[in-house]
């Protein structure tokens, strides 16, 4: 400011023509300075970007899968592969959420896919390992152990969400009971929680002779008799599940005559309550064993996003 003031005072004793020339020169200098500042500012913006919002995505891992073949799952890239002689699948999101969250689906791949598609749209991977006709047996648990090790070693989150419909309830809870520290949450839909209700057909459940025979074999018995005293059903895991405080959601049809709520989910909820845990249940009045899921899966999606600490918007 002092320099500007001094210049101004000099103008008083200068002839008008000279004054005009000096003013023109000052204007030119001012224009040059402004131009320089504009160029410098623009350059600064290029090399120093404005702070960005917290990232919600991460790089999708390049998975090394044995004997992989690609397929399309509702527009998402999927791969079938064989691991330890077992058929497996995985579908990758178009954009992967931060932390690389994922879900293992039990049985009935592609049935009522609305939740799986919603999770893919939120950056989740969806995985599947064939445990058909194993009914949550030790062999089924071992297969899931192998799949979990394969995928987590390649970058997927060490906490996985579990989804099981009907008999899928057996594997999700039996695996969870042995892997409490690896489970992010459990979504069970009309789940079998006690093999004596289905397929053995007691306590109001519907008997399936075929499935009863396959289950007997899968559990290592030659007759059904020991199965009626079986103490490793999902309902028998209530204590350890409650103590682990795992987020749990059951979706059930109140008119289910195949896997009755009263002898499956309701029994499990009562046992959990004795350990201070309240099971979250979505009831579908007047609905039987089918259809599974919800037409609008948003409540289930919200539950999984909250349990896995993922944002509701993506």
Q: What is the pLDDT of residues 190-205, one digit of tens each?
A: 999 999 999 999 999 9
May I ask the CATH class of domain 58-307? alpha beta
Instruction: Say which residues have a Cβ less than 8 Å from residue 114's Cβ, sequence separation at least 6.
Output: 293, 294, 295, 296, 297
Q: What integer pLDDT is reported at residue 246 of this predicted model? A: 98
Question: Residue 3: pLDDT above 60?
Answer: no
Q: What is the pLDDT of residues 174-189, one digit of tens each?
A: 999 999 999 999 999 9
Question: Residue 141: pLDDT above 60?
Answer: yes
Task: Classify residue 43 as exposed, middle or buried by CB count within 10 Å of its CB (0-12, 13-18, 19+).
Answer: exposed
Q: How confident is the model at residue 107 (pLDDT cuts 50, 70, 90)?
A: confident
Of the chain, the percentage scoring pLDDT greater than 70 comes to 82
Q: Are 164 and 172 in contact (CB under 8 A)?
A: yes
The mean of the pLDDT values for the chain is 87
Domain range list for the chain: 2-47, 58-307
Q: What integer pLDDT is reported at residue 314 of this predicted model? A: 83
**DSSP state at residue 41:** H
Q: Are 117 and 124 in contact (CB under 8 A)?
A: no
Q: How confident is the model at residue 41 (pLDDT cuts 50, 70, 90)?
A: very low
Q: Would you call 50 helix, strand, or coil by DSSP? A: coil
* Sign of the Cα pseudo-torsion (193, 173, 244, 247, in order): negative
* Sign of the Cα pseudo-torsion (217, 219, 222, 224, in order): negative
Q: How confident is the model at residue 313 (pLDDT cuts 50, 70, 90)?
A: confident
């Amino acid at each position: 400011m002092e320099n500007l003031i001094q210049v101004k005072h000099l103008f008083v004793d200068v002839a008008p023509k000279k004054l005009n020339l000096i003013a023109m020169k000052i204007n030119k200098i001012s224009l040059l300075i402004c131009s320089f500042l504009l160029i410098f500012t623009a350059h600064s913006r290029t090399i120093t970007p404005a702070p960005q919002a917290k990232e919600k995505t991460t790089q999708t891992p390049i998975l090394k899968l044995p004997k992989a073949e690609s397929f399309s799952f509702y527009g998402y890239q999927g791969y079938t592969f064989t691991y330890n002689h077992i058929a497996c699948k995985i579908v990758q999101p178009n954009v992967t959420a931060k932390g690389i969250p994922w879900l293992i689906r039990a049985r009935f791949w592609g049935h009522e896919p609305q939740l799986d598609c919603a999770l893919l749209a939120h950056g989740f991977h969806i995985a599947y390992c064939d445990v058909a006709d194993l009914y949550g047996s030790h062999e089924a648990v071992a297969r899931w152990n192998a799949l979990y090790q394969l995928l987590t070693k390649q970058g997927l989150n060490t906490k996985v969400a579990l989804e099981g419909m009907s008999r899928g309830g057996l594997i999700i809870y039996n695996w969870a009971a042995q892997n409490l520290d690896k489970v992010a949450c459990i979504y069970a839909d009309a789940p079998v929680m006690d093999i004596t209700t289905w397929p053995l057909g007691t306590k109001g459940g519907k008997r399936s002779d075929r499935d009863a025979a396959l289950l007997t074999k899968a559990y290592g018995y030659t007759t059904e008799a020991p199965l009626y005293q079986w103490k490793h059903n999902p309902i028998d895991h209530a204590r350890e599940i409650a103590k682990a405080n795992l987020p749990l959601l059951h979706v059930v049809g109140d008119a289910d005559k195949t896997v009755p709520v009263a002898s499956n989910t309701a029994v499990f909820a009562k046992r959990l309550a004795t350990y201070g845990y309240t099971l979250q249940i979505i009831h579908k009045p007047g609905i039987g064993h089918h259809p599974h899921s919800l037409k609008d899966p948003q409540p289930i999606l919200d539950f999984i996003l909250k349990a896995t600490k993922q944002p509701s918007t993506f």
